Amino acid sequence: MANKINSGDSRTRSSVSIFIVAGLCCFFYLLGAWQRSGFGKGDSIALEMTRNGAECNILPNLNFETHHSGEAVDESESKKVFKPCHHRYTDYTPCQDQRRAMTFPRENMIYRERHCVPQEEKLHCLIPAPKGYVTPFPWPKSRDYVPFANAPYKSLTVEKAIQNWIQYEGNVFRFPGGGTQFPQGADAYIDQLASVIPIKNGTVRTALDTGCGVASWGAYLWKRNVIAMSFAPRDSHEAQVQFALERGVPAVIGVLGTIKMPYPSKAFDMAHCSRCLIPWGANDGIYMKEVDRVLRPGGYWVLSGPPIHWKNNYKAWQRPKEELQEEQRKIEEIAKLLCWKKISEKGEIAIWQKSKHADSCRGVRDDSQATFCKVADADDVWYSA
């Protein structure tokens, strides 16, 4: 009985297989007939090419010529080889030549601004690195150490010795993190600011350091997730920002003078001046107004050093107390016109906060002294007066 059942199943499977094979044969026969009929475009072209002896004239509009209109350039003729400049140009900075700068007026720091030479006076050689220059240390070691050969200038180690800016140790410079206003270190100084300014919670993400020196303030803000742009003028003995760049801190040679800072409006959450020697109250407060332009609504401005706390420090600063008092009075007056609110003054550190609605605040004031430049685009500031 079992054998009969098995034989029946075998006949059934054989019938199904024969049916599938017959179906496939019919399908491919019909497919071939359809292609020969010309309805299959690709195959019809192939058939037509075969009938015409495989001559490629079926589609006469095809063009296989190059579509590039330029001519081949001989690279050997286009290359220009620039030789290294004389070693006396090691510390040369384009548009910041010290000898040329001294020929410009000194008022409003004009001589510290960019002054590029005419085309015929431009150098056509490569600025040489200092002798013995080596690859800078990787971050975070670079924050604290720079090879002496990369910036071989010792004057700051003498001039700023007691202020903990920079120390010379063998073949390296060491940066203890100090500054004129924070000899105990930038970390402790930033902690003071963080007790008033919400740095920890991410409210402050970008900062501007004016008159930065070797940029220790910006260097120590990195670990607090704040990116600082630092700038300072080129001093007569060296460019201090070169130390900042060797440390891996963003910095540029620059000055607050007659030209706007090269940053768009409302770009920074915090601006900072630590004894940066900028005359904030001069020229109708033009420098504070420029800080106001790049400071976002609700941003913070920090001023530490003269004239803050002048009553206790005028002797140490070797300046008349009446002069310092008037300087602070002007700063307070301009801050009020800008709708900045002083939120802290402790020791030699004062902090203002820009109003979140500064434009509407100024609109309701009737102060003839409050003058602001009218510009079509506040972000179009590259070397603009």
pLDDT tens string 34-75: 556 545 444 554 445 445 544 445 445 555 555 555 555 555
Instruction: Identify the structural domains of the chain with CATH numbers, from first to last.
Output: 93-125 (no CATH), 184-363 (3.40.50.150)
**In whole angstroms, what separates CA 363 from the centre of its chain?**
33
Q: How far apart are CA 272 and CA 230, in angstroms?
A: 9
Which residue type, as a one-letter code, is found at position 132?
G
Backbone dihedral region of 79: left (phi > 0), alpha (psi from -120 to 50 degrees) or beta?
Answer: beta
Pick the residue with more confidence: 57 or 375? 375
Averaged pLDDT of the chain: 83
Q: How far apart are CA 216 and CA 242, in angstroms?
A: 13
Q: At what angle do helices 41-51 and 2-36 cross, to 10 degrees?
A: 60
pLDDT tens string 81-94: 889 999 989 888 88
Can you give the pLDDT at residue 132? 94
Counting residues of the chain whose pLDDT is more than 90, the rounded percentage is: 57
235-239, 291-295, 356-360: which has the minimum mean pLDDT? 235-239
C-beta separation of 49 from 56 below 8 A: yes
Give the Å distances, CA to CA, from 43 to 34, 59, 287.
10, 14, 77
HSE, CB side, 13 Å, CA atoms: give it for residue 136. Answer: 21
Per-residue burial over 296-308, b if 16 or more Cβ lie within 10 Å, else e, is: beebbbbbbbbbb
pLDDT tens string 276-289: 989 999 999 999 99
Indicate whether this model's pTM tops 0.85: no
Can you give the pLDDT at residue 374? 66
What residues have CB less than 8 Å from 185, skipping those under 6 apart?
164, 176, 177, 178, 220
Average pLDDT over every residue of 249-254 = 93
Q: Which SS3 state, helix, strand or coil, does residue 294 take?
A: helix
Can you give the pLDDT at residue 267? 96
